[in-house]
Amino acid sequence: MRFATYEYRNRRQVAVVEEDGRLCPLPGVSSLTGLLAEAGSLAGLLDAGATTLDVPAGPHVTDVTLLAPLQPPTVRDFVTFEEHVEGVRRSVDGAAGVPEQWYAAPTFYFTNPYAVLGPHDDIPMPPGSSTLDFELEVAAVIGKEGRDLTPEQARDHIVGYTVLNDWSARDLQSAEMKVGLGPCKGKDTATTLGPFLVTADELDTYRDADGFLSLALTAEINGEVVGRDLLSNMSWTFEEMVAYASRGTRVRPGDVLGSGTCGNGGCLAELWGLRGRQDPPPLRPGDTVTLTAEGIGTVSNTVVPGPDPVPVPVARHRPRKRP
């Protein structure tokens, strides 16, 4: 099944998306995150979706404002594509190759759940940035609580998938990561999710013999293709990522885990690192970025001017007094 969250006639609703694009609303449901918590599993979500079989079809997806399919309580963004790491490291850090430690575990950072935007929302330029980039990813969504999971157990905890665009202010990111933390403000303005939550069973036919989802990924800027890759080029499966995320803690319904950016043009910084110049140039207001994941759908967002940064002073050199 495919689930959408949308606004129609000033009402927020959750619906099952039919093959023809018609929306079948779930009566009384306005939050997919809340529905996931109530359903508690993929089976529970499918049962909830089945209740729409007796509900008259609502509007078509083209007649509504599609919102992010869910508002996640947490967003972990991984980095699982070796090709991406190699290109971006050269561009952002000025270093060659892939750090040896990258191969040890599926590293991730927590990004801002309050910055989640919908599949067609405008994206403001991050305050103080002139080097905006997109990042083409697929995200797994948790549907069942778990802790210290094995990869085999983790399969039952993934309820579905959606497209993720991890918008990145590369100039801010490069500066702040010299401190040895981050990224923080370089990734803080926007994360696109959408267009739908596609339940995990819908994508089983794309799974290869090693457990990876072989989905074609495409990135376009203003209608021109700049990147193509396969999701199966990840170095870890989503189940392995969920297992690692749950180590020593919990994953809960609605949590989002991004695959990390794909290679072969999954973002501009990778291309900049490979080519040694900013070609294509950084995104500017008016540019439209369209990302497609086979079997899931397409998100398309236009960059618009953002606010000026609110000034914050530089660090003060303080006397090191002691009590």
**What is the pLDDT, as a whole number, of residue 97?**
85
pTM: 0.96
**What is the pLDDT, as a whole number, of residue 90?**
82
Q: What sign does the CA torsion over 204, 210, 216, 218 have?
A: positive
**What is the pLDDT, as a whole number, of residue 8?**
97
For residues 240 and 55, what is the distance between their CA atoms, to the nearest angstrom?
38
Domains, the chain, in order of start with CATH, read: 2-66 (no CATH), 75-304 (3.90.850.10)
**What is the pLDDT, as a whole number, of residue 53?**
80
What stretches in the chain show pLDDT beneath 50?
none
Q: Identity (one letter) of the amino acid at 87?
A: G
Among candidates 73, 74, 99, 75, which has minimal Cα distance to 86?
Answer: 99
Between the alpha carbon of residue 83 and those of residues 96, 161, 183, 210, 315, the distances in Å are: 12, 22, 20, 19, 37
Query: What value does the CA radius of gyration of the chain take, rounded to a whole number of Å?
Result: 20
**What is the pLDDT, as a whole number, of residue 75?**
98
Question: Which residues of the chain form beta strands (DSSP E)?
Answer: 2-8, 11-17, 23-25, 65-66, 75-78, 108-111, 116-117, 123-124, 132-133, 136-142, 146-147, 158-166, 168-169, 191-199, 216-221, 224-230, 250-251, 256-258, 288-293, 297-304
Q: How confident is the model over 164-199, as pLDDT tens digits?
A: 999 999 999 989 988 988 889 999 999 999 999 999
